[in-house]
């Protein structure tokens, strides 16, 4: 039992350290999103966006309309990391579609094994509970 706890603790600390190292990488992605989407209770219109690190070595990303429209679209979004076994083949955004509403879920950078996962907002949780139809949509029109 003691060895299982020690192993689990070691794995948790390793994952945490890898996640922190991933945050040190600067993110700057341009993406064309063909549909309206929601991120943490904020609705974004279809269009071109820049998603980038808010400040060096932070847990925050900023999403800005490519046309420079402020409209409250520049607030920082806290992210966690998600890991896959092999590096991402291309830069992409991952959305959850519930009914006809899209929610930004993840950002993956080409060549990286770690992706950024956005928080699930209350609206997405509420809709997921009340709907049986949900789908993962991958938008590959993103570049660094």
pLDDT for 36 equals: 95
Region 37-61 average pLDDT? 83
- Residue 13 neighbours by CB distance under 10 Å: 10
What pLDDT, in 10s, does the model give residues 91-140?
A: 999 999 998 999 999 888 888 888 888 888 889 999 988 876 788 888 77
- Residue 125 neighbours by CB distance under 10 Å: 12
Asked whether residue 31 carries a pLDDT value surpassing 50, the answer given is yes
pLDDT for 133 equals: 77
- Domain residues for the domain of 82 are 2-143
How many Å apart are CA 137 and CA 97, to the nearest integer?
7
How many Å apart are CA 94 and CA 33, to the nearest integer?
11
Average predicted confidence (pLDDT) for the chain:
74
Residues 6+ apart with CB under 8 A from 100: none
Q: How many domains does the chain have?
A: 1
Structure token digits, residue 96: 């959850």
Return the higher-pLDDT residue of 86 and 106: 106
pLDDT for 15 equals: 37
Place 38 in a pLDDT band, splitting at 50, 70 and 90: very high
Return the higher-pLDDT residue of 68 and 39: 39
109-119: b (≥16 Cβ within 10 Å) or e: beebbbbbebe
Q: For the chain, give me the number of helices (H) and strands (E)? A: 2, 12
């Amino acid at each position: 039992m003691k060895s299982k706890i020690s192993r689990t603790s070691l794995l948790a600390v390793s994952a945490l350290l890898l996640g922190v190292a991933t945050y040190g990488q600067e993110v700057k992605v341009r993406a064309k999103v063909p549909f309206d989407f929601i991120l943490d209770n904020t609705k974004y219109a279809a269009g071109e966006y820049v998603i980038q690190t808010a400040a060096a070595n932070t847990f925050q990303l900023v999403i800005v309309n490519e046309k420079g429209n402020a409209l409250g679209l520049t607030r920082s979004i806290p992210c966690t990391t998600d890991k896959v076994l092999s590096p991402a083949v291309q830069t992409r955004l991952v959305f959850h579609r519930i009914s006809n509403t899209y929610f930004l879920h993840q950002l993956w950078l080409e060549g990286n094994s770690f992706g950024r996962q956005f928080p699930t907002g209350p609206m997405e949780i509420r809709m997921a509970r009340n709907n049986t139809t949900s789908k993962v949509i991958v938008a590959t029109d993103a570049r660094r």
